[in-house]
Amino acid sequence: MDKNTLSITDNRTGAQYVVPIFTGTYPRYGAAINAQALRQIKVSEDDFGLMSYDPGFTNTACCKSAITFIDGDRGILRYRGFPIEELAGRCTFLETAFLILHGELPAPAQLQEWHRQIKSHALLHENTKKLMDGFHHDAHPMGMLVSTVAALSTFYPDAKNLHDPVARRLQTYRLVGKMPTIAAYAYRHSMGLPYVYPDEDLSYTGNFIRMMFKRTEVGYKPDPVFERALDVLFVLHADHEQNCSTNAMRSVGSSHADPYVALAAAAAALYGPLHGGANEQVLRMLHEIGSKDKVSDYIKRVKAKEVRLMGFGHRVYKNYDPRARIIKQVADEVFGVTGRNPLLDIALELERIALADDYFIKHKLYPNVDFYSGIIYQAMRFPVEMFPVLFAIPRTIGWLAQWDEMLKDPEQKIARPQQVYVGADCRKTAESAAV
């Protein structure tokens, strides 16, 4: 018998089935059976067939993807085969973004054209500004970002042309180009500051920092340490395979909705405190703890399950999050300029106690990417509300690459999970029962 198969005996009927097993690049990591193969397993002809039950998709592959590889047990993250450590050390965010989308690092001429396209799409239609002006002064910037990205759909009706690769690429340039501008405008709206138009002479992150923080200085120059730190943070956040927001992008995109509304859905998923909202929650938690000597009490509350230790734990990393290590180095560089953020001492103490504690060891809970990113962002003067927005900007390329891959994949269909119905059997209203 072919070894790459699974034999199943249905004890309800005694029937036996042989189901093929297929693998991806690494047979050790990513062997699967096709869930449809289970549907032949029936107790009678009119039986629907067996399904698998998997709330939160903890063990269900929804696609074959060639973009990002994660080995959570070994703490490995690679984009298109390149280790995250190498990309963060050697490549800019825009080079990494090109790689994620195209599968190869850009040649110099390709990179120049990629920069030109992204920068030329950084401006927003003036009506978009009017739309953003309509938000209340204390609107959360992530709510503004989600709504504004969705509204872009009305500005670009050509985005519905999903099956034209040239049109798809144009929407990619637009979205990657405009996200920092939307993000900065959302911040400046909340501060009552005038909007700053993009400057294409600056790098992607340098321009973003300028749009955020420029006041009345004529020759505003972003701090090169901040510019590089943000660039590295953007590299680390660019893609992370099939997480909650990427799944939202693919799921909404699978109905052939345009990329603006699909990306708005992805950003909405990212907004949640269990996902991209976590770094905001980490900062709130560190403020709540207040000082190093209160850390032990807080850990007791975590173990009593009163609260969660935000920035700890991950669905796939059960050893360590490789991004967290790189972020710690970035933190040192940023604090070299800004001075040490006092919250860092609380964070380090939390990490020290948690990593030595049985509860955290047993539950395989380690710091994730969000544990330190918030402290760095705060030191760079980004307000806490902007943290999930700072995640959404670089993740845009990941969402778009995954969306592009999905549309080109002939095996993909509209996302439509099954359910196991546990509600009432067929019943009658009181009126019809009385008849």
DSSP string, 62-80: ----SSEEEETTTTEEEET
Q: Which one of 115, 121, 237, 314 is the catalytic residue? A: 314
**68/368 with CB nearer ligand ACO:** 368
Q: How far is the CB of 293 from ligand ACO (least distance, A)?
A: 21
Question: Least CB distance from residue 297 to ligand ACO, whole Å?
Answer: 15
189 counts as catalytic: no
- Tell me the Ramachandran region of residue 398: left when phi exceeds 0, alpha when psi lies from -120 to 50, beta otherwise: alpha
Which one, 211 or 389, has the nearer CB to ligand ACO? 389
Question: What b-and-e string marks burial along 383-406, b requiring 16 or more CB atoms within 10 Å of the CB?
Answer: bbbbbbbbbbbbbbbbbbbbbbbb
Are 90 and 74 spatial neighbours (Cβ–Cβ below 8 Å)? no
User: Which one-letter amino acid corresponds to residue 127?
Assistant: N
* Contact residues for ligand ACO, defined by CB under 6 A: 274-275, 278, 302, 305, 308-315, 363, 365, 368-370
Residue closer to ligand ACO (CB basis): 159 or 327: 327
Annotated catalytic residue 314: yes
- Residue 190: closest CA among 385, 394, 389, 380: 385
Cβ nearer to ligand ACO, comparing 70 with 379: 70
Q: Would you state the torsion angle of the CA atoms of residues 81, 171, 112, 79, taken in this order, to the nearest 10 degrees?
A: -10
Residue (267 or 365) nearer to ligand ACO, CB: 365
Q: Which of these is catalytic: 71, 199, 275, 345?
A: 275
CB 369 to ligand ACO: min, Å:
5
Question: Residues with Cβ < 8 Å from 23, sequence gap 6 or more?
Answer: 4, 30, 31, 32
**3-state DSSP assignment of residue 139:** coil
Instruction: Supply the minimum distance, in Å, between the C-beta of residue 242 and ligand ACO.
Output: 12
- Nearest distance in Å: CB 302, ligand ACO: 5
For CA atoms 22, 24, 28, 31, give the dihedral sign.
negative
Minimum separation from the CB atom of position 17 to ligand ACO (A): 31
- Tokens standing for 188? 């400046």
Residue placing its CB nearer to ligand ACO in the complex, 41 or 88: 88
For the record, the structure tokens of 396 come out as 């845009």
In the complex, least distance from residue 289 CB atom to ligand ACO, rounded to whole angstroms = 14
73 residue type, one letter: D
Q: Among the options 370, 404, 409, 425, which is catalytic?
A: 370
CA nearest neighbour of 369 among 309, 399, 325: 325
Q: In what order do the strands lie in the sheet with 16-22?
A: 5-9, 16-22, 32-33
CA distances from 225 to 204, 234, 338, 386, 420 (A): 14, 14, 10, 20, 53
Question: In the complex with ligand ACO, which residue's Cβ is closer, 152 or 310?
Answer: 310
The residue of the chain with the least Cβ separation from ligand ACO equals 313
Residues with active-site annotation: 275, 314, 370
